Structure 1
Amino acid sequence: MTRSPATRHIVIYGTSLSAEHSPFFWRRCGGYWVTMLRQSVCQRHPGETLLTNASRWGAHSRWALKHMRSRVSIHEPHVLLLEFAINDADMRNRISVTESEKNIESMIGLALDSNASCDIWVLTSHIPRGRHVSVRPALADYYAMYESVAERNDVGLIDLHRKWGGTAPDRKYIPDGIHTNELAARDVILPGVLAHLDL
């Protein structure tokens, strides 16, 4: 990849809450905030910042660790945002808090191997509604683990779970019960992300 030394590369790596596109036309994604973040940084720093969204619909940390080099490390990011707690907490994926923690810490290590000065952030999200929360009974434990990982590894924490008040957002923000829409991105998520990142 050819890149100007002056160009800062931001990589977003997460689930369908961060993905901008779904492989299925009837499935929603919540990555409106990433689209808005790209627009914001391009307006603030035209020609100086590149944003790559490596997120994938249905992704969890086990899959993410396996594909870390091909989807993230290859870009040698200056800023990396990791968001996998919501799908790791899904009982159907059978990923314990302990495994999720190991996977995230391994991804942090790989990111630093590709760029020792990479500014890494782990993101919590929100509590979903209906059937989406019933398959994630321990979601709060995964969010708490992200806080511990951030502190132990000296990386940043963007705690959107707390920004949402620790409860499920109103349905006007998550019409399908889990995926945030443009209104949520504008009102809560993008301001929460920008408040932490030095962009």
Structure 2
Amino acid sequence: MQAVPLKTRRRWREALLALTLVASGVTAATLTVAGPASAAAGCRVSYVVANRWPGGFTANVTITNLGDAVTNWRLTWSFTAGETIAYQWNAVYTQSGADVNAVNVSYNGSLATGASTLIGFIANSSGANPMPSSFALNGVRCGGPAVPTPSPSGDPVPPLPTPSRTPTGDPAPPIPTPSRTPTGDPVPPTPSPR
């Protein structure tokens, strides 16, 4: 029996690995190494309209970090009824049309996992003042809808949805270690260099 060159064995192993990955639904894109690590994001937001009057309102927003600890944060949302922020506290706000960005200030930028911070503002409004439908922390949408909390008028608080995980497919099979060549012959041992 003739020895199979090392280069040929490597190609067979690579081909077998590629076939196994394709069969299990894994693509090369999922195997690439990610760039610089960034904190996994997740959050919960409590949006409370503390006071209302004709032409305006005061809102308090509690941000709870549910992801990895962060040293700086940016909370974004969109108003839907023409609200405009006139005065702010505990964050630096910028607004372009309906879109709002609230960025931490020096004393509240660090949020450990599970930590919260309270920010707030006074806004001008004309008539309706619906709560924003979603918030994003550092560009990642907070899970589920915004969580309304009771206003001084005693509005009810709906229950929070409980996220659940469902399998999305069969688990990937283990990658076999080839012990035989594609022809069924045993893989000869690699000769040691002399």
The structure whose residues are more often strand, as a share, is: 2
- TM-score if structure 2 supplies the norm length? 0.26
TM-score with structure 1 setting the length: 0.25
